[in-house]
A and B are shown apart, each in its own frame.
Chain A
Amino acid sequence: MEYSPEKREIILSRKLNNLDKLAIEFIQVLEKYTDYVIISGYVSILLGRTRATEDVDVFIEKISSEKFSKLYSELKNAGFWCLNAEKESEIFSYLYEGLAVRFAKKGKVAPNFEVKFPKIDLDKETFNDFVIVFLKEGKIKISSLERQIAFKRYFLKSEKDMEDALHIEELFKDQLDYEKINNLKEVIEKVGKK
């Protein structure tokens, strides 16, 4: 695994597991219609954590209902269904309300992709604070390692999240921007108090 903070890329020659294959399949549809960033648990799994997850969290840039219609249609053609509703307008209205909607392979509920629009500035910044993970079979855009650590350690804070943060920190400790983590910690704590 090679991480270049300057290029904002990680070269990963790992063998894909079933979750990676599904994530690549989903992303390849998604990125035709909107920008996306993978956040939270799956990032640490992609980077080697020995745990599974029931969902992959994804921020997508806000899109029009027309574009969403095309995206939803292609997701359905690719064998995905939405767990929250079947009707396109209903799914889109959930997204616009700031709610997350989940997609899984038709007939299944897990693993699923939890898709949401960014709500606050802190979320929106993720689209400019990312790393691309290059795999042999495709590429996956994740939020920056510092952002991952800060969110897990200072916002989510569960045992699992603290362990995910430790994994990423131990793996890349000589290449992390600790000032950035501290700055994000301050912002996260301010948001948390509101």
Chain B
Amino acid sequence: MKPKKLSFLEILDSYSAEESSLIPLLQDAQDEDGYISPEKVEGIAQHLKITESQVYGVASFYSQFRFTPPGRHSISVCLGTACHVSGGETLLNTFERDLEISPGECTPDGRFDLNRVACLGCCALAPVVKIDDDIYSKVNVIKLNDIIGLYE
């Protein structure tokens, strides 16, 4: 059984009010529902006694943090070097076209969000696509259609 997810307030309370808590705090806050809302930025700023712009400044520096709600399923297309030379870009373009969204966006029905990722470290099996926690290797355009169908 998975441990119950903590609420945002419980997460805040689990961190001491020091600057070095900021990034882990943002990570946990994002884990809760997949993104950092303006309310969370405010809450974190108050808890750590720093300004909201400081919180946002740090959060926006790192590619991990998103500021809009994610889809029910997250698609990450690996664009590491090995994936690039094996056609990762073609896969990303196909997703963009089929889902009619750009990287960083979410489909209007909330089914998928699309992301580009620098490297998932499965380079020997390039090109690689990750949907939620599942990694698909040696993907091509034909496989892509079948894979998307697995997620509702």
Interaction A to B = no
